[in-house]
Amino acid sequence: MEFNNVTAHALANIYFDGKVISHAITTAEGEKKSYGVILPGSYHFGTEAAERMDIIAGSCSVELDGNSQKQIISTGSHFDVPANSGFTIEVEETAQYICTYIN
């Protein structure tokens, strides 16, 4: 996946002692995205805006807050997270993602 005509924010967001690293971009249309790498482990994230998480390499299991059912998400698939919510993501082998923030 490639993005053209974007503003890239140079500093990375680093979470969980460097096990999740994310870079932010803003498209020419004003759409905000982040992309990065998730190393093996289990991590919980809270959301303010709704999000679409595309897994572009690897796989993971995801449990949305308030839902006890885990989803298995593999390369080329995505999951959606409601605004003001959260999710737990478990990765066994390194995964890469693109997150699109939905207004």
The residue among 37, 36, 17 whose CA lies nearest residue 25 is 36
- Edge-first strand order for the sheet with 86-91 is 41-46, 86-91, 59-64, 71-74
One DSSP character per residue, 85-102 reads -EEEEEESS-EEEEEEEE
- Residue 2's pLDDT is 83
CATH code, residues 6-102: 2.60.120.10
Q: Where are the domains of the chain?
A: 6-102
Tens digit of each residue's pLDDT (9 = 90 or more) over 1-20: 788 899 999 999 999 999 99
Q: Where are the beta strands (DSSP E) in the chain?
A: 6-15, 20-27, 32-38, 41-46, 50-57, 59-64, 71-74, 78-81, 86-91, 95-102
Tens digit of each residue's pLDDT (9 = 90 or more) over 18-33: 999 999 999 999 999 9
- Residue 3's pLDDT is 86
What is the value of pTM for the model shown?
0.93
